[in-house]
Amino acid sequence: MLEGLGALEYEAQPPVLSPAQTLLCSFERYLLAERALAPGTVRGYVDHARKFLGGLPSGRTVAEVTAADVTAALGRVAAVVSVAAAQNFRAGLRAFLRFCFTEQIVDADLSGAALAVTGRRRVDLPRGIEPAQADALLSSCDRRTALGRRDHAMLVVLLRLGLRAGEVARLRLDDLDWRAGELVVRGKGARLDRLPMPVEVGEAITAYLRRGRPATDRREVFLRARAPFQPIASGTVGSTVRRVCCRAGIAEVGPHRLRHTLACEMVAAGVPLVQIGQVLRHDSLQSTGIYARVDLDTLRQLAAPWPGGAR
């Protein structure tokens, strides 16, 4: 305001970035544009790269990094964090080193120096909720109110389609193909998938759009219940599920447990793992394979007899 009145002479200067900051910005653009990674994954990888650069010996540039520096950085992290966190750091470090080699910042691809991180991790069986609990969640939503219709529609989408929390938040009006009875899921890494829209899902979304969704020009399906009517965040999906759990009188679960619920129901119904992977939109059948462990009756047929007879 003072500058506009001529009372102050001020010329905005662009921020001066250090060479490391410039490199990290380029790495971030590479992950988003070339690798098409999810924004959350990109932030994590950039943080890992920043931690690696911050741990280099004083005065050493990226071009002077050696395989010993990479191994030492991974060793320092693995010594103080969990196995899963160390594996995540390794993934980000390898991506950064491959980027540096592709951009000819380093002479050799040092990603191989980031050795695999192994260790014993607790592996739990995928767990869903019981059908009675799912019914209790849906029944606890007061569909006479706008908020109740929104909560009910979100829960139906989670339970019947197995969407992730972020996918529910990103669902847009343009993604609903009413004539074909399908919807488009905006998944990880800008991936787009089409899923059939069950009648129950269509009816729940329609009830919310007609008598619950605020009047706005926003194209996202699910909006905040109070002004300003902005699109919900993925965290809102999780908090909604936990809030409904408390209202229904069952133990709190997150939205991913509802995704597990759909998968476990398909396993119990004898749906092949390949088709389950298609519904859940897994990139690899290995990701779907974890649900084979919940089919105990089939697994018993594979168990070898107890040595010496019946146990």
pLDDT of 253-293, one tens digit each? 999 999 999 988 888 888 888 888 888 888 887 778 777 66
Position 287 scores a pLDDT of: 78
User: Which domains does the chain possess?
Assistant: 19-113 (1.10.150.130), 131-295 (1.10.443.10)
- Exactly one of 164, 170, 213, 281 is catalytic; name it: 164
Q: Which helix (H) or strand (E) holds 221?
A: none
Question: Would you call 259 a catalytic residue per the annotation?
Answer: yes
Looking at residue 217, its pLDDT comes to 93
* DSSP-derived secondary structure for 178-213: TTTTEEEEE-GGG-EEEEE--HHHHHHHHHHHHHTS
State yes or no: is 152 an active-site residue: no
Instruction: Tell me the average pLDDT of the chain.
Output: 88
The two three-digit tokens of residue 34, written as one number: 């070339």
Among candidate residues 51, 98, 172, 188, the one labeled active-site is 188
Verify whether residue 291 is a known catalytic residue: yes
Least Cα distance to 69 among 121, 108, 30, 103 occurs for 108
Query: CA–CA separation, 236 vs 258, rounded Å?
Result: 15
Say whether pLDDT at 310 is over 70: no
List pLDDT tens digits, range 104-121: 999 999 999 998 888 765
**200-239 pLDDT, tens per residue?**
999 999 999 999 999 999 999 999 988 889 999 999 999 9
Q: Which of 143, 149, 259, 281 is catalytic?
A: 259
Q: Cα–Cα distance between 194 and 136 in angstroms, integer?
A: 29
Query: Alpha-carbon distance 158 to 161, whole Å?
Result: 6
Q: CB count, 10 Å around CB of 225?
A: 18
Does residue 164 have an active-site annotation?
Answer: yes
Closest-CA residue to 265 (of 140, 135, 103, 145): 135
